[in-house]
């Protein structure tokens, strides 16, 4: 079998996983109990691995906050020293099949959404979305109020979500995406339809429960029109789990930013991240006083949804978001067409009515990106250097990462000969 055929066979396997994987939200459990290799002193952050000295300010705040919340340290200084001296182990969430939105730091006692790929068996994890307030750990803030909120999630909200979803015998994310097809979600930065649908889907199970603080939990859960994002991040990770490490495959299986560097992972190159200085997510500033100078480089793992074909990849499915961030419908269409040009698969369970009922693309092939010189566009929320969300916008996938990946794979192929 020549190399081209080997690559094509490998990619077929990878895309098969991405297309046929069936992510189901099955549980909510403490991160340390369910994420393999996660220890009590492990704290997961977004993007490719980073020298802890270089960690950006909002992530540093979240990291130290998580350490205090865990009781690992008494205050931020102590926590930061423990990070520097290695007593606290900082790792890339995606290397643990977990995803951290924006500046989020995920620690062992935090409840995480557990998704299982019912076809291939992988699992993925993500904390429940904290709600629409920007004053949260996820955006790089930590104080007494946020500490109480983290405790609320650990002691009440997380366990109640877990009980509910177990009672519902899980929620099939393809079902959610199919039921809300043609309802304007691109499912990275815009998911009101999926969130509303899932809120109402689980509501009867919540009403029939008797967990403490039921009314507050129901109100909080059903009011959050971004709730589905973090479920989908865990769902994407659960499928991606089985798409990794397929020798010779040129398909993208990881994507994230740590604020300094942006990185991609590919199936055939294993655990390696291919990085480049992180581009900024620009579009609509959320406050007219903000400028591009206030923004960090790409930060966060929410773009694992893009790996799964959502967000900018299916921009045409959610054109309202593209308009919000300064463009028109044709730009939404262009983004999805670009993605289609470099993808090997298509999700067909959620047809897009205004795009001739086509599905959305999945499985970015680095050969196509480099060969055609076409890069997809990721949607995303940009983080301010001082913490908080500064933009809702987009950013092209940096082509450098694809080039590096291609070189690395070709070296690997040569080495294997």
Residues near its own copies (CB under 8 A) are: 181-184, 192-193, 196-197, 199-200, 203-204, 207-208, 215, 218-219, 222-223, 319-320, 323, 328-329, 332, 353-357
Report the run of H or E that residue 359 belongs to, with start and end.
Answer: strand 358-364
Query: By C-beta, is 223 or 386 nearer to its own copies?
Result: 223
Burial of 144 (0-12, 13-18, 19+ CB in 10 A): exposed
Alpha helical stretches, state H, 284-373:
304-307, 319-324, 329-342, 366-372
Coil, helix or strand at residue 309: coil
For the bound state, the minimum distance from the C-beta of residue 80 to its own copies, rounded and expressed in Å, comes to: 40
Q: What is the nearest approach in angstroms of its own copies to the Cβ of residue 332?
A: 8
Give the residue from 105, 130, 217 showing the smallest Cα distance to 165.
217
**How many H helices and E strands in the chain?**
15, 16
Question: Residue 398 Cβ, how far from its own copies at the closest point, in Å?
Answer: 28
Name the residue nearer to its own copies (CB basis): 61 or 218: 218
Give min distance, CB of 188 to its own copies, in A. 16
Report the nearest approach of its own copies to the CB of residue 210 (Å): 12
Helix (H, G, I), strand (E, B) or coil at 118: coil
**Contact of 255 with 48, CB cutoff 8 Å:** no
Q: For the sheet containing 106-107, what is the strand order?
A: 89-92, 42-45, 106-107
Which residues fall within 8 angstroms of residue 89, CB to CB, at 6 or more apart?
39, 41, 42, 43
> Least distance in Å: CB of 369 to its own copies?
27
Residue 115 vs 315, nearer CB to its own copies: 315
Residue 192 or residue 270: which is nearer to its own copies going by CB? Answer: 192
Q: In the sheet that 377-383 helps form, which strands lie side by side, from edge to edge?
A: 282-285, 389-396, 377-383
**Identity of the residue, 263 or 319, whose beta carbon is nearer to its own copies in the bound complex:** 319
* Residue with Cβ nearer its own copies (353 or 371): 353
For residue 348, the SS3 value is strand
Residue number with CB closer to its own copies (49 or 320): 320
Beta carbon of residue 71, minimum distance to its own copies (angstroms, whole number): 34
Question: Residue 218 or residue 248: which is nearer to its own copies going by CB?
Answer: 218
User: Cα–Cα distance between 328 and 332 in angstroms, integer?
Assistant: 7
CA 386, 277, 80: angle at the middle one, nearest 5? 45
Contact between 256 and 128 under an 8 Å Cβ cutoff? The reply is no
Give the shortest CB-218-to-its own copies separation in angstroms. Answer: 6
The phi and psi torsions of 382 (rounded to 5 degrees) equal -90, 140
Least distance (Å) between residue 160 CB and its own copies: 15
Task: Give whichever of 93 and 332 is closer to its own copies, judged by the CB atom.
Answer: 332
Phi, psi of 373 (to 5 degrees): 55, 45
Least separation in angstroms between CB 185 and its own copies: 8
Q: How far apart are CA 191 and CA 110, in angstroms?
A: 24
Q: Are 395 and 313 in contact (CB under 8 A)?
A: no
For its own copies, the closer of residues 323 and 385 by Cβ is: 323
């Amino acid at each position: 079998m020549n190399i081209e055929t080997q690559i094509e066979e490998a990619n077929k396997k990878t895309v098969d996983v991405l297309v046929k994987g069936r992510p189901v939200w099955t549980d909510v459990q403490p991160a340390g109990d369910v994420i393999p290799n996660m220890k009590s002193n492990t704290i997961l952050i977004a993007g490719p691995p980073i020298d802890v000295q270089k960690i950006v300010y909002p992530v540093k705040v979240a990291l130290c906050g998580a350490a205090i919340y865990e009781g690992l340290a008494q205050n931020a200084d102590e926590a930061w020293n423990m990070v520097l001296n290695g007593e606290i182990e900082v790792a890339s969430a995606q290397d643990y099949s977990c995803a951290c939105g924006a500046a989020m730091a995920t620690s062992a006692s935090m409840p995480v959404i557990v998704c299982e790929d019912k076809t291939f068996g992988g699992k993925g994890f993500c904390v429940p979305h904290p709600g629409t307030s920007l004053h949260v750990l996820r955006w790089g803030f930590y104080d007494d109020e946020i500490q109480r909120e983290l405790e609320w999630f650990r002691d009440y909200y997380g366990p109640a979500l877990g009980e509910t979803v177990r009672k519902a015998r899980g929620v099939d994310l393809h079902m959610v995406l199919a039921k809300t097809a043609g309802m304007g979600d691109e499912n990275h930065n815009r998911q009101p339809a999926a969130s509303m649908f899932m809120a109402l889907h689980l509501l009867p199970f919540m009403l029939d429960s008797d967990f403490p603080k039921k009314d507050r939990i129901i109100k909080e859960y059903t009011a959050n029109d971004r709730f589905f994002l973090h479920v989908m991040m865990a769902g994407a990770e659960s499928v991606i789990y089985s798409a990794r490490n397929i020798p010779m495959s040129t398909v993208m299986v990881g994507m994230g930013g740590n604020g300094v560097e942006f990185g991609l992972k590919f199936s055939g190159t294993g655990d390696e991240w291919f990085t480049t200085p992180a581009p900024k997510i620009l579009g609509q500033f959320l406050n007219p006083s903000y400028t591009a100078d206030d923004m960090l480089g790409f930060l966060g793992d929410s773009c694992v949804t893009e790996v799964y074909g959502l967000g900018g990849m299916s921009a045409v499915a959610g054109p309202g978001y593209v308009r919000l961030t300064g463009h028109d419908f044709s730009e939404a269409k262009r983004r999805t067409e670009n993605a289609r040009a470099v993808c090997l698969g298509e999700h067909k369970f959620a047809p897009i009515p205004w795009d001739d009922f086509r599905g959305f693309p999945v499985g970015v092939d680095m050969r196509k990106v480099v060969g055609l010189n076409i890069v997809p566009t990721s949607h995303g929320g940009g983080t301010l250097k001082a913490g908080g969300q500064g933009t809702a916008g987009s950013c092209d996938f940096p082509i450098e990462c694809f080039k590096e990946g291609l070189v690395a794979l070709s070296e690997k192929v040569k080495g294997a000969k």
